Amino acid sequence: MSNISELKNRLNAIKQTRQITGAMYLLSTSRMKKSMQNIDFNLTYMHKLRSTMKDILSKAESNDMHNRFIEKQDEGITLYITITSDKGLCGSYNSDIVNMAADLIKKSGDSILLSVGSQGNMLFKNIGITPDYNWTDILSHPSLYMASEISKTIIGLYKKHEVNEAFVIFTEYKNPSVQTPVCKRILPLLKKDFLDVEYDYKYITFPIYEPSMDEVFDLMVPQYVTGFMYDVFMQSAACENSARMKAMQNATDNADEMIENLSAKINAERQLAITNEIIEISSATDISGAV
């Protein structure tokens, strides 16, 4: 009977865990749908903005524009920005990003690390890397304000010549079942980084920029970086909730399987106990009859 009691206690514990993972699955599903509502709008905005940037970049050479944001500087080192979650229980979502960043940092040598997300901060410290800058509590409520604050830091480091390149490492949203860690350049803005963008307009005459193409570009870059970071936040939030949804679904399925196996074991133990009792009673009856 003691064995049955232990199995029942374990069964009850797993049932309670299943209730938690099931609730977290539903919560993650709801949050993912909510985060998806704004992605399409932001993607449309980013397409327009990147198309405009590509248009300016394509005419920069013929207009003899030499802007600090379109040419890699000799001074400075590489800046890496990583986007991770503030909560766990989302599978390999965070570790994939940290591992990619760690490999890039190892290859590039001297670099500056800007970490967004408490899970990333913890994982980096576990492998002996201390972020130079860190932010938390962003993906739970992505905002243009925080995207603007981080973009100011990125552009400030670039203007001071402390960094000559800036890359963001995040999980790009493809669909609910596919999330891929990627590394994308933010600065400088090179024409090869805009090959996937189509021009929105085809000009018959050369456009006029007032007061000048260079000044217009200087004003657009902070807006571009802010929009880029906000888009990264939105995609990362959707991927985080999708990863947690899958992790909780797998945990719930595993709990269901364990509950089924434990229930079968309990039934087998109970049947064995009943069989042993019947044998004992039968043996006692045979002995008393023989006497």
The CATH number for 222's domain is 3.40.1380.10
> What's the chain look like in SS3?
CHHHHHHHHHHHHHHHHHHHHHHHHHHHHHHHHHHHHHHHHHHHHHHHHHHHHHHHHHHHCCCCCCCCCCCCCCCCEEEEEEECCCCCCCCCHHHHHHHHHHHHHHHHCCEEEEEECHHHHHHHHHCCCCCCEEECCCCCCCCHHHHHHHHHHHHHHHHCCCEEEEEEEEEEEEECCEEEEEEEEEECCCHHHHCCCCCCCCCCCCCCCCCCHHHHHHHHHHHHHHHHHHHHHHHHHHHHHHHHHHHHHHHHHHHHHHHHHHHHHHHHHHHHHHHHHHHHHHHHHHHHHHC
The count of domains in the chain is 1
Whole-number pLDDT of residue 176 = 63
> Would you say residue 287 lies in a domain?
no
pLDDT at 2 over 70: no
Whole-number pLDDT of residue 20 = 79
pLDDT at 86 over 80: yes
The amino acid present at 99, given as its one-letter code, is: N
- Summarised one tens digit per residue, pLDDT across range 189-214 is 887 888 777 766 666 666 677 777 77
pLDDT at 165 over 80: yes
Q: How confident is the model at residue 83 (pLDDT cuts 50, 70, 90)?
A: very high
- Summarised one tens digit per residue, pLDDT across range 233-282 is 988 888 888 777 777 777 777 887 888 888 888 888 778 777 777 777 76
> Would you say residue 195 lies in a domain?
yes
Whole-number pLDDT of residue 287 = 59
Whole-number pLDDT of residue 152 = 92
Q: Tokens representing 222?
A: 């902070």
> Would you say residue 265 lies in a domain?
no
Q: Model's pTM, two decimal places?
A: 0.78
> Would you say residue 256 lies in a domain?
no
CB–CB of 94/84 below 8 Å? Answer: yes
Tell me what the mean pLDDT of segment 170-190 comes to: 83
pLDDT at 154 over 90: yes
> Would you say residue 191 lies in a domain?
yes
What is the distance, to the nearest Å, from the Cα of residue 133 to the centroid of all Cα atoms in its chain? 18
**Between these two residues, 221 and 201, which has the higher pLDDT value?**
221
Whole-number pLDDT of residue 271 = 80
**What is the domain range of residue 120?**
22-246
> Would you say residue 70 lies in a domain?
yes
Whole-number pLDDT of residue 84 = 92
Whole-number pLDDT of residue 65 = 65
> Would you say residue 16 lies in a domain?
no
Q: Tell me what the pLDDT averaged over the chain comes to.
A: 81
CB–CB of 230/77 below 8 Å? Answer: no
